[in-house]
Amino acid sequence: MKFNSDEIAAVIQKEIETFGSQVDVREVGTVLEVGDGIARVYGLSNVMSGEMVEFPNGAIGLAFNLEEQSVGVIILGDYLNIHEGDEVKALGTLLSVPAGDAVIGRVLDPLGNPLDGKGPVNATVTRPVEIIATGVAERQPVHEPMQTGIKAIDAMTPIGRGQRELIIGDRKTGKTAVAIDAIINQKGKGVKCFYVAIGQKDSSVALVIDALTKAGAMDYTTVIVSGASAPAPLQYVAPYAGTAMAEHFMFNGGHALIVYDDLSKQAVAYRQLSLLMRRPPGREAFPGDVFYCHSRLLERSAKLSKELGGGSLTSLPIIETLEGEVSAYIPTNVISITDGQIYLQPDLFFAGIRPAMNVGISVSRVGGNAQIKAMKKVAGGLRLDLAAFRELEAFAQLGTELDPATQAKLDRGYRMVELLKQSQYQPMDIAEQIISIYAGTRGHLDDIPVTKVRDFEVGLLTYVRDRKPELLTKIRDVADLTTEIEEMIKSAIASFKASFK
């Protein structure tokens, strides 16, 4: 076997030339202490805030606190196999998650790892978890409706594409049900939906996924789960990760809807991390920047300007109150960031009024801009009427004699309350909502017994669907309450009423 000296010389020459580029220069530190999802690391002198670091067991951490002698790192994953003295590498990148069509229909953790057993996520796009929200000049006002399919909400506190509408109430008052109805109602409307479960029981999340699957909503929905057993760092990162996935569609001219269920649990996780990192506590032991934690998240929901493609991201943050305490720290913070709130009240819920929306406190700061003209005309005075009805009802309980006009108002109020009740996971089409609310607000139900109002509504809508489908089509197409459409609705109600027993 002969050696060719020229060949050997050429190989050595090439190795010498490329030698410098092969050296892997990485900043390396050592774990000083670890526990409760955080680690203190010595030696990462050039690490940046929010930069990713890697531990020997493959777990990823985020540089959270930059101190004089050490770096506080929050560990996104298993921290039980990390020990004092372990070597930590700075990766020089920011945390990113997979995005695009590959994540749709999947159940993922906040880092984009699959939890549904359907194999890896083959995403070609990734997006950084934290970005600065679009500025004022890049946005346009909210003007397109984002219908939830819930009569009470679409009529009185309408939500528009690009809006942030808070759902707030005590536990077990139907907050998640409202959000899930809104997701189910986006079927066939080209809106990608994201449901972020933060600190929820795994059983509750499984029920939500089951409801979405049965309704056929998982075809356009992504569920991001950071359950009650997940470490605090993952619960803290989850909403940002979900938003990054949703933003991909907004920036590509599409429309997305994201539900954060719920942000009070994220605030508690953030408080835990901050106290472990020895950041000074403020009101209710939350750190001083917990407002910024939520504002930088919710400001990323927007309706982009036409130059940027006109995409939108609508968010429905959920906040749980304790004993109806709306003036606690986190609820007041989030109320001041969002464009309105839907307040669900326990006593209404237990009285069988579901959704248990308190009309007096619930508002939408976008208002009629997020409604089609037909709904605006039909439900214009509904809010005030219902709020007045609640006052009258309290007054009538005193047993005083009422004049006929007041009695008539009360009677209509009882019928409207009955009419606005709606079963869970059964969102209604906007055209059907308009017919239903028209029948109530224009007095067509005044002679129907209160107990029969729901039956009348179901019968009326079935009648219109079967016998007068052109009326529904016309309402959807025209989206306004013209004289012609109004006459058609009146005649449909009259002809059905004649046969209603």
Which contacts of 490-497 are long-range, i.e. CB under 8 A and separated by 24 or more positions?
Answer: 492/435, 492/460, 492/463, 492/464, 492/467, 492/468, 493/435, 493/438, 493/439, 493/444, 493/460, 495/463, 496/459, 496/460, 496/463, 496/464, 497/444
Angstrom distance (rounded) from CA 403 to CA 408:
9
Based on its alpha-carbon atoms, the radius of gyration of the chain, rounded to whole angstroms, reads 28
Amino acid at 385: D
Residue with tokens 């009569």: 151
Q: Which entry of 279, 365, 442, 476 is annotated as an active-site residue? A: 365
CB 282 within 8 A of CB 288: yes
Beta bridge mates, 98:
126
Angstrom distance (rounded) from CA 216 to CA 231:
31
- CA dist 94 to 48, 52, 64, 90, Å? 9, 6, 12, 11
Annotation marks residue 283 as catalytic: no
Angstrom distance (rounded) from CA 179 to CA 383:
21
CB 280 within 8 A of CB 288: yes
Side-chain half-sphere CA neighbours of 365 within 13 A: 13
Angstrom distance (rounded) from CA 364 to CA 162:
13
Please, is 139 exposed, middle or buried when counting C-beta atoms within 10 Å of its C-beta (0-12, 13-18, 19+)? middle
Q: Residue-wise over 356-380: b if at least 16 C-beta within 10 A, else e? A: bbbbeebbbebbebbbbebbbbbbe
Angstrom distance (rounded) from CA 220 to CA 95:
25
CB 325 within 8 A of CB 361: no
At 260, phi and psi to the nearest 5?
-105, 110
Bond into 262 cis (ω within 30) = yes
Beta bridge mates, 66:
71
CA torsion angle for 285, 287, 289, 290 (degrees, to 10)?
Answer: -50
Nearest Cα residue to 152 out of 427, 472, 393: 427
Catalytic residues: 365
